[in-house]
Amino acid sequence: MAAMLVTLALWQLAAMGLAGRYMLAGPVEVVQHILQNYGLLSRALWVTFQNAAWGFVAGNLAAIGLALIVALVPQTRMLVAALALVVFCLPLVATGPILRVLYGPGPGPQITLAALAVYYTTFIPLLVGLRAAPASWFDLIRLYGRGAWTVFVQVRVMASLPYLLAGLQIAAPAAFLGAMVGEFTGADRGIGVLALRAMRGLDVEATWAIALIAAAVSMLAYGAIGRITRTKADTQPEMLMAVKPEPSAQLVSARVFRIVMLVALTAALVIALWWALMEIFALNRFFAKRPDDVWRYLVTAPTAQANRAVLWAATSASLEYLIPGYLAGLALGVAGALALTLAPALGSGVLPVAIALRSVPIVTTAPLIVLALGRGAAGTITIVAVMTFFPALVACLQGLRQTPGQVLDVMRLYATNPVTRLWYAQIPAMLPAFFAAARLSVPAAILAITVAEWLATGRGLGALMALTASTSDYNLLWSAIVVVTLGACIGYGLVSMVERAVLVRVAPEQLRN
């Protein structure tokens, strides 16, 4: 309570100091605006909340279904994960207008974007959890003559519950963000519509009131799932022991071959599905471009070189700020989790701020951050870092809690200090969850940079996609979607390579099927 009062006081003082600059509204002004427009805001909130809730349910059911397929048929793991990644990497900024054209009026785009924003944030932690079971549990089940179904239900599902709940916590704010982005594409009702109107009219009080409402709803959802998580975390995690894979030239060659075949198969399936969906629904080629249209635009058309130059210039501008923001967000998330582990009393002050930063939709905060810090490196990098900080923080806290109780008991018996326990026991236990967050943060960082460029900076791929959507240059729009999706998949793959090199030493159980 004291921390909240201090935060409100500092907020009001900062607003008074920045009065007249159209940057910050104090809590007094924000509350006054909410009370004066209570009916309008409550109706808009109810619309957005329903869309976000339906998207949250649909996206998480899809994530659980995909994880069940992978768990029951391990041979499909890499292919399912690759296809799920491609879909998740589709930029919301570009897919939103396309979905609006496909769906027409109504809540379809909002619900779809909310589902797309959350399903992968649950899918990846769930996969980690399904492999986080002690080898002794599998041996015990086999000793009693039980089959694969008992192993799955009694071992893998139970081991995955903490990771599933952590994924749901991260997904709750993302669902609200996805619904708001959908409302930005031409909806007639919802919080996103009011936010867009407030930003265009430089209505600072309305903008901050909407940000506060969105943050409050997301924090309540996060807290409710967190309460369930705490009730399920009444036992210490078991010690995980697995044999370290022995590297060999033959195994390395086989793995490289499997990766090459996976990439080729995934690309073929994506192209086939893309083409099939367009033809099955008989979508007009004017806005629903096929793979051959993109190939012609970028490779065989007389203006292909100029088209590629436009895309490369926008991509370079985005990468210039994307990579530092991504790394800064991850570093701050890890540092925050370690600090909260060493000093749990900080949780009451740090966690609410972290949740608020993630809960306030980036479509609302991006223009304000750019206004405060400028359109250059500082403002854009901050936006990306804010977007990637929260998943890293939540995942790392969850990972630190998975440290085997037996290991901590032995270290306490020998009177080791907290820093030693952190370095030798808790950080190794955290690494699988950290890398899961690092992989998830690649598309999240791309979403942040494209939204910032779309709404505030006016440069990079985000601004290019927004411009092409408004000018109906759908060849360039679809080409930009392909570039963004490929870039996200490449970044994800690079993180996965680092993850495998690290986990083979500290968590080899994560590398088994």
CA distance 45 to 277: 34
CA distance 156 to 72: 11
Mean pLDDT, rounded, for 271-287: 82
* Burial of residue 198 (number of CB atoms within 10 Å: 0-12, 13-18, 19+): buried
- Give the residue ranges of DSSP H helices in 233-303: 249-280, 291-295
Instruction: Tell me whether domains 20-233+257-288 and 292-512 share a fold.
Output: yes
Lowest mean pLDDT among 158-162, 169-173, 422-426: 158-162
Is the Cβ–Cβ distance between 91 and 126 less than 8 Å?
A: no
Higher pLDDT, 395 or 455: 395
Interacting residues of 289 by C-beta distance below 8 A, sequence separation 6+ = 474, 475, 478
* 3-class SS shares of the chain: helix, strand, coil, % to 5: 85, 0, 15
Quote the pLDDT of residue 23: 66
- pLDDT tens, position by position, 49-81: 999 999 999 999 998 888 888 877 877 777 787
- pLDDT tens, position by position, 430-439: 888 888 888 8
Is the Cβ–Cβ distance between 404 and 55 less than 8 Å?
A: no
Q: What angle do CA 99, 101, 106 make, to 5 degrees?
A: 75
The CATH homologous superfamily for domain 292-512 is MetI-like (1.10.3720.10)
pTM given for the model: 0.73
- pLDDT tens, position by position, 451-476: 788 766 778 888 888 787 677 788 88
Tell me the domain boundaries of the chain.
20-233+257-288, 292-512
Residue type, 335: A
Is the Cβ–Cβ distance between 509 and 242 less than 8 Å?
A: yes
Lowest mean pLDDT among 175-184, 295-304, 351-360: 351-360
Lowest mean pLDDT among 32-36, 64-68, 451-455, 482-486: 451-455
CA distance 226 to 425: 24
Q: Is the predicted pLDDT of residue 311 greater than 80, yes or no?
A: yes
Q: Which CATH number fits domain 20-233+257-288: 3.30.390.10, 1.10.3720.10, 1.20.120.160, 3.40.190.10?
A: 1.10.3720.10
Provide the mean pLDDT of the chain.
79
CA distance 217 to 45: 9
Structure tokens at 291: 């793979």
Side-chain half-sphere exposure of 185, counting CA atoms within 13 A:
30
Mean pLDDT, rounded, for 218-225: 80
Mean pLDDT, rounded, for 291-310: 90
Mean pLDDT, rounded, for 81-101: 76
